[in-house]
Amino acid sequence: MSTKTTLSRIARQLTLRRLEIVAVTSTVLAFALTVTLIGGTPLEESNVVAVEFVDRLGWTGAGVLAVVVEAGIFAGYRRLEDDFPRTSLAGAAPSPQSASAICS
């Protein structure tokens, strides 16, 4: 009988690359939906930061900037993953020294 839980199967499948694909796809879809909704109606973007980027870069430029920034953040996470694999995915893996201090 297996002792593996559903959570462990899900956790094993959550790689940084898969998370990046989901995040970038979500950003592109949300941006496309926003442009579609605002494009042909009198609605306005309520996010002042997004409005500033759209005013300066246009819709296409703001969308490309969002994807580039997100890809850059994940590139930083990938660099961390090589040295600290648990930290990049879980947030904060304790060092061996702090773990032994906590346990004692």
* Residue 20 within a domain: yes
Smallest Cα–Cα separation from 14: which of 73, 75, 89? 89
* Residue 12 within a domain: yes
Interatomic CA distance for residues 15 and 5, integer angstroms: 18
Q: Which domain holds residue 34?
A: 6-103
* Residue 76 within a domain: yes
Interatomic CA distance for residues 96 and 22, integer angstroms: 32
Q: How confident is the model at residue 99 (pLDDT cuts 50, 70, 90)?
A: very low
Q: Could you tell me how far CA 22 lies from the centroid of its own chain?
A: 8
* Residue 1 within a domain: no
Instruction: Give every CB contact of residue 54 below 8 A, 6+ residues apart in sequence.
Output: 45, 62
Number of domains in the chain: 1
* pLDDT tens digits along 47-81: 898 889 888 998 889 889 999 999 898 888 778 77
How big is the chain, counted in residues? 104
